[in-house]
Amino acid sequence: MQKHYPLLKICKILIVCLFMSAVYAQDNDELPIFDTHVHYNDDAWITYPPEEILKKMEKANVPHALVSSSPDEGTRKLYQLDSDRIIPFLRPYYGDVNPSNWFDKADMMLYFRQRMETITYGGIGEFHLHGIAHADTPVVRQTARLAAERDLYLHVHSDAEVVKVIFTYEPEVKILWAHAGLLESPEVVSRMMDKHRNLWVDISIREYEIAPQGKLDPSWQALFLRHPERITIGSDTYIPTRWGMYEKIIEFDRHWLNQLPREVAEKISYRNALRLFGQN
């Protein structure tokens, strides 16, 4: 026999259904993302004003973002508007200082110390080191020492050999390894994390290797399950077109994260970065 519900009861059922649908969507699709690899470089300032960048983060449910920029003023523009959301990292690139020469600039340490007097940074970088010779210059050694002394993270764009070199002369420094080494396999990344307890990884730019055609790759899944507390998510907005794609990048990351156990997905999407960078 067909049941007939009073109008009030039907309304209550509809409200409950809508609420449960919202909860289900939040639990399964809308993991908050702590974006640990953001750049707001000067070539994006006109097309994407600071207010629009923050709106993009809000729309994408990105409550916190680790930002470094070329030059550093880009980071400060965002930090000035939303210091709760933005965790500033100090990038060495400004003027004629760039990825190919910063590690040999004699006045680099003076620049770092002067900038650090004005706002509180969470780390130094993202910076590039293109080989082990670049990793062992006096400037890089001093940078690693400064980070260790001030309990800051180094956000390092390099291969595995460079990371090994830094740890040989500064074993207590904390490294956030950009792009999981960019070209390194998940097996190499896993071995590096087995060996170095102060190594964390951001997996920006690797998303389409991690989940080709949207399906989580087994080798990357094995890495995430082995080191669930030392992986973070990043978008890497290194060119303006990445800002145009920002919401889609975050959406794609959520898609493959939802193929992991919920606890692991939450750690990678935001809990690990909250723990590392002290945001509550």
C-alpha–C-alpha distance, residues 97 and 90, integer Å: 13
pLDDT at 9: 32
pLDDT tens track for 163-221: 999 999 999 999 999 999 999 999 999 999 999 999 999 999 999 999 999 999 999 99
Least confident of 5-9, 59-63, 143-147, 236-240: 5-9
DSSP β-ladder status, 153-157 and 123-128: parallel
- Rounded (10°) CA dihedral 21, 24, 25, 30: 150
According to the model, what pLDDT value does residue 278 have?
80
Three-state SS for the chain is CCCCCCHHHHHHHHHHHHHHHHHHHHHHCCCCCEEEEECCCHHHCCCCCHHHHHHHHHHCCCCEEEECCCCCHHHHHHHHHCCCCEEEEECCCECCECCCCHHHCCCHHHHHHHHHCCCCCCEEEEEECCCHHHHCCHHHHHHHHHHHHHCCEEEEECCHHHHHHHHHHCCCCEEEEHHHHCCCCHHHHHHHHHHCCCEEEECCCCHHHHCHHHCCCHHHHHHHHHCCCCEEECCCCCCHHHHHCHHHHHHHHHHHHCCCCHHHHHHHHHHHHHHHHCCC
Bigger pLDDT: 222 vs 8:
222
So what's the pLDDT on residue 17? 34
pLDDT in tens, 68-103: 999 999 999 999 999 999 999 999 999 999 999 999
Residue 252 clears pLDDT 90, i.e. is over it: yes
Asked if residues 210 and 256 have their Cβ atoms less than 8 Å apart, the reply is: yes
Residues in the chain: 280
Confidence of residue 226 (pLDDT cuts 50, 70, 90): very high
What does the pLDDT look like over 138-159, one tens digit per residue?
Answer: 999 999 999 999 999 999 999 9
* Whether pTM exceeds 0.85: yes
Task: For the chain, give the percent of residues with pLDDT over 90.
Answer: 88
Check residue 37 and give its pLDDT.
98
